[in-house]
C-alpha cells in the first residue's frame, strides 16, 4: 500500500470486463417444465426469486421505452402488481417514460435476476390504469412516498437538492403524518399487456435456455425456443 494516498496496488489496477467470467448453472429449463401461461410461469419464478433465493427487490425491472422518433431510454422501476391482464407499475405521468409511452405505447420490461442466472423479458403495450385503481394503490404507499409524488416533478431539471427538500418540507407541513394526502392528478399507473414473455436460464458454456411465449390471435400462447 502506498502511504501517500492509502490506495492498494490492487485498487490501482483497472478491472478488465472481458476477463470477468462466471459458469452458469447446469440445470436448465425445458418446454414441459413451463406453465400454461407466461403469467403463471412468471409467478413461479418470482416466488423462487423472492421467497427462496431472497433476492434484493426481485420486483425491480428495467423499463425500456422509445419516443416518437425511436430514441430509447431505460430506467429501473418497481413492479407493483401482475396478473393475466399484465404487469403494473406507477409513475409521474409527466416523466420521460410516461411521455414516451404517450407517443409510443410499446415497452420492454427486463427482470435481471443475476444471482439465479435468470432473466425474464416482457414486450407489450402499456396503457394507463384507471383512477380508482391508481387511488387504491396510492393509499397503500407510506406517507413519505405519497408526499414525494407531489414534491418531485419527475424528469424535470431541478436547480438544487435544497429546492427539492424545501418542496417536500412544505408538503409535510401541509399534510402531517396521519392526514390523508390527495392523489396527484399527474401520477398513476401503467399496465403492460404482454405480447411476448421470454424466460432465460443461464447454462454452462453459454448454451443458455431461452423459452419464449408469443401471443396468438385467439388469446392462446405459442412457446418457441430461441438460440442462446
The phi, psi pair for 174, rounded to 5°, reads: -75, -35
Residue found under cell 396521519: 178
- Please tell me the distance from the alpha carbon of residue 3 to that of residue 76, in angstroms, as a whole number: 40
Task: Give the HSE-up count for residue 220: Cα atoms under 13 Å, Cβ half-sphere.
Answer: 3
Going by C-beta distance under 8 Å and a sequence separation of 6 or more, which residues neighbour residue 20? none
Residue 163 — φ and ψ, nearest 5°?
A: -65, -40
Residues annotated as part of the active site: 206
77's grid cell = 422501476
Q: Determine the Cα–Cα distance for residues 217 and 169; give it in Å rounded to an integer.
A: 52
- The grid cell for 203 is 447454462
Amino acid at each position: 500500500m502506498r502511504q501517500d494516498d492509502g490506495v492498494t496496488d490492487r485498487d490501482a489496477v483497472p478491472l478488465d470486463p472481458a476477463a470477468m467470467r462466471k459458469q452458469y448453472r447446469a440445470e436448465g429449463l425445458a418446454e414441459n417444465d413451463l406453465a400454461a401461461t407466461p403469467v403463471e410461469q412468471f409467478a413461479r419464478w418470482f416466488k423462487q426469486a423472492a421467497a427462496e433465493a431472497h433476492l434484493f427487490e426481485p420486483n425491480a425491472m428495467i423499463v425500456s421505452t422509445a419516443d416518437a422518433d425511436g430514441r430509447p431510454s431505460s430506467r429501473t422501476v418497481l413492479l407493483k402488481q401482475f396478473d393475466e391482464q399484465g404487469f403494473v407499475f406507477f409513475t409521474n405521468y409527466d416523466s420521460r417514460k410516461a411521455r414516451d409511452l404517450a407517443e409510443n405505447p410499446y415497452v420492454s420490461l427486463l427482470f435481471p435476476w443475476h444471482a439465479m442466472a435468470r432473466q425474464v423479458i416482457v414486450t407489450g403495450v402499456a396503457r394507463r390504469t384507471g383512477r380508482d385503481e391508481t387511488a387504491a394503490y396510492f393509499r397503500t404507499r407510506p406517507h413519505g412516498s405519497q408526499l414525494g409524488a407531489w414534491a418531485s416533478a419527475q424528469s424535470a431539471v431541478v436547480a438544487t437538492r435544497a429546492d427539492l427538500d424545501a418542496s417536500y418540507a412544505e408538503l409535510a407541513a401541509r399534510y402531517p403524518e396521519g392526514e390523508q394526502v390527495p392523489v396527484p392528478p399527474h401520477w398513476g399507473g401503467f399496465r403492460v399487456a404482454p405480447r411476448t414473455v421470454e424466460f432465460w436460464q443461464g447454462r454452462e458454456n453459454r448454451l443458455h435456455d431461452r423459452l419464449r411465449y408469443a401471443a396468438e390471435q385467439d388469446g392462446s400462447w405459442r412457446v418457441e425456443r430461441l438460440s442462446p
